[in-house]
Structure 1
Amino acid sequence: MSLYIGREASKLWKRFCAEIITELNLLAENWKYLLAGIICQYIHGLAARGVHYFHRPGPILQDVGFFLLPELGLDKGYISETVFTFIFLSFFLWTFHPFILKSKKVYTVLVWCRVLAFLVACQILRVITFYSTQLPGPNYHCREGSKLATLPRPDSVHEVLFMNFRGVLYGCGDLIFSSHMIFSLVFVRTYQKYGTRRFIKQCAWLTVVLQSFLIIASRKHYTVDVVVAWYTVNLVVFFIDHKLPEMPDRTGGAALLLPLSKDGRTKEENHKLLNGNSGDPVDWRLRTPVNGKILEDGNNGHADSVMNGV
């Protein structure tokens, strides 16, 4: 028993090291895109803080969502944030699953390049929209009488450029459209395309729908902010995804991304190492996408039949 555990641990460590080499090679080629995407996240944060200086509290606008959904109250506002945190962390951890699991379908670096491209495009539209018209914020700290509803004129550039955590949580004015929905929809659509668990996909979409209702019930956004996010993000992701080059298939591309080792191992052997210890053609066949799409669990038998001409 101990021999079996030790052998499996050794295989896991070898797969992990091989994946590190592969991802470092991809990172060396694509670091500029990742860095640009991260910088744009910071710029988006600055823009959201900047519009807070222009925000003026006023009467809450008439909203059908506020009429239909009961108000959760200030003490239950954490519920929607908890759901969003769950979505964010779940997707983040999933993007690193190739480092430990045999069923490698994606490359972590390439997934984040695509995700950041989607986020940046949506956030550019968001910044243009909420700077065009500032609505009175419906959130509790943005209402009349709250000290956080308006920001005093900044005393220095340092105060504007270096945001604190409190400023991120208690922003006002950046309403149309919801940033939480941008991240959630981009993550779920990415998993919809590259994930393999059909049940998780269904649960992910239900969770995003639930988050939409919770955001409105928490009075963090108007209904229009959520509705606009639903069709804008989906359309942006759809069009950009068709413009970006498709990610290489792990079966055919993994070996090309791995360098030859010093002891003369071939690329084919490195490929076997990256995908576990099998190296069995049947195992490769199960990983091969049909028509360039990632197969979900339960469809592997159909793929075998198609590829064998049956």
Structure 2
Amino acid sequence: MTLYIGRETSKLWKRICAETTAEISLLAENWRYILAGLIFQYIHGLAARGVHYLHRPGPTLQDVGFYLLPELGQDKAYISETVFTFVFLSFVLWTFHPFIFKTKKIYTVLVWCRVLAFLVGSQFLRIITFYSTQLPGPNYHCREGSKLARLPHPQSVFEVLLINFPRGAIYGCGDLIFSSHMIFTLVFVLTYQKYGTKRFVKQVAWLIAVIQSFLIVASRKHYTVDVVVAWYTVNLVVFFIDKKLPELPDRTSGLSPLLLPMSVKDKDGRNKEENHKLLNGNSVDSSDWRLRTPVNGKILEDGNNPHDNAMNGA
């Protein structure tokens, strides 16, 4: 038993080392995209804090979701955040599963490049919309009488640049249309829908996304319109950006990462047809490109006919 555990531990360690080497190589090629996506996450947080300075509390707007869904109350508002945290952590762990499990279909770095592209596209549109019109926040800390409903004027630039994460994100006001929680949830679910392998998990993920939508409205963190707009906007953003990005290599083909097209730029100078042959396990050796002519049921190379050779004295 001890010997078996030792062998499995050794295999797992070798797998982690091999995976780390491959991911570091990919990170060296794509670090600019990862860095740009992370920087934009800060910019998005900075924009959300900035609109909080412009927020003015007022009467809660008429909302069909508020009529249909009972209010959870401040003591149960944590339920929505708990579900979102579960979705977030589950997705992050799934993107790193190739380091542990043998059945691996994705490369972690390439998946996060794609996810960050989806997030940036959606968050860019979100910044435009919530700066266009500031609505009175329906959340408890954004209502009239709350000390957090209005932010005092900043005393310095550093006070604005330090977005006070995560408290600043949790107790923000004014960044309503459309829901940031739904952006992350839908991007994660759509990504797993395309690259995940478990059908049951996909179905559960969509169910959780729907439940998350209702919980956001029931906890009065957003108006119903914020959730509705997120559903079709994020899906459209993912659809169009996904069309523009190069497709991820499928690791189930069993090919080495060096033979797979990791980006639009093909370092080996192979054309698309050659890459297609590589992905299908066919040889693309230049020696196989010679013209072959069938003669009497046999394949002759370069179109050389034995009768012609005999006539030429060969």
Tell me how far apart the structure 2 counterparts of residues 190 and 7 of structure 1 sit (CA, whole Å).
Answer: 34
Aligned to 1:45: 45
Tell me how far apart the structure 2 counterparts of residues 240 and 47 of structure 1 sit (CA, whole Å).
Answer: 23
Q: Which runs of 5+ in 1 are unaligned?
A: 259-287, 290-310
Give me the TM-score of the superposition, normalised by structure 2. Answer: 0.81
Alpha carbon RMSD of aligned pairs, Å? 1.4
Aligned to 1:224: 225
Aligned positions, number: 260
Structure 1 SS opposite 2:158: helix
Q: Matches of residues 181-260 of structure 1 in structure 2 within 5 Å? A: 181-252=182-253, 254-257=255-258
Q: Matches of residues 126-137 of structure 1 in structure 2 within 5 Å? A: 126-137=126-137
Q: Which has the larger radius of gyration?
A: 2
Deviation at 1:6, TM superposition (A): 1.4
Structure 2 SS opposite 1:141: helix
Tell me how far apart the structure 2 counterparts of residues 60 and 109 of structure 1 sit (CA, whole Å).
Answer: 43
Deviation at 1:253, TM superposition (A): 7.2
The one-letter code of the counterpart of 1:30 is N
Tell me how far apart the structure 1 counterparts of residues 218 and 31 of structure 2 sit (CA, whole Å).
Answer: 40
Deviations 1:40-89 (A, max 9, x none): 00000000000000000000000000000000001110000000000000
CA contact (8 A) 2:22 2:257 kept: no
The one-letter code of the counterpart of 1:198 is R
Decide whether aligned partners of structure 1 residues 201 and 251 sit closer, same or farther in structure 2, where only a CA change above 3 A counts: closer
Deviation at 1:257, TM superposition (A): 3.3
Q: Which runs of 5+ in 2 are unaligned?
A: 260-278, 281-314
Aligned to 1:138: 138
Aligned to 1:54: 54
Higher mean alpha-carbon deviation, 7-16 vs 182-191, is at 7-16
Aligned to 1:169: 170
Segments ≥4 residues shifted beyond 4 Å: 251-254
Deviation at 1:168, TM superposition (A): 1.5
Tell me how far apart the structure 2 counterparts of residues 171 and 9 of structure 1 sit (CA, whole Å).
Answer: 46
Structure 2 SS opposite 1:147: coil
Tell me how far apart the structure 2 counterparts of residues 250 and 257 of structure 1 sit (CA, whole Å).
Answer: 12
Tell me how far apart the structure 1 counterparts of residues 179 and 254 of structure 2 sit (CA, whole Å).
Answer: 37
CA contact (8 A) 1:139 1:221 kept: yes
Aligned to 1:157: 157
Deviations 1:166-217 (A, max 9, x none): 2111100000000000000000000000000100100000001001000000
CA contact (8 A) 2:87 2:185 kept: yes
CA contact (8 A) 1:25 1:257 kept: no
Structure 2 SS opposite 1:135: coil
Deviation at 1:163, TM superposition (A): 1.4
Deviation at 1:256, TM superposition (A): 3.8
Decide whether aligned partners of structure 1 residues 24 and 254 sit closer, same or farther in structure 2, where only a CA change above 3 A counts: farther
Tell me how far apart the structure 1 counterparts of residues 4 and 147 of structure 2 sit (CA, whole Å).
Answer: 63
Decide whether aligned partners of structure 1 residues 56 and 28 sit closer, same or farther in structure 2, where only a CA change above 3 A counts: same
CA contact (8 A) 1:22 1:257 kept: no
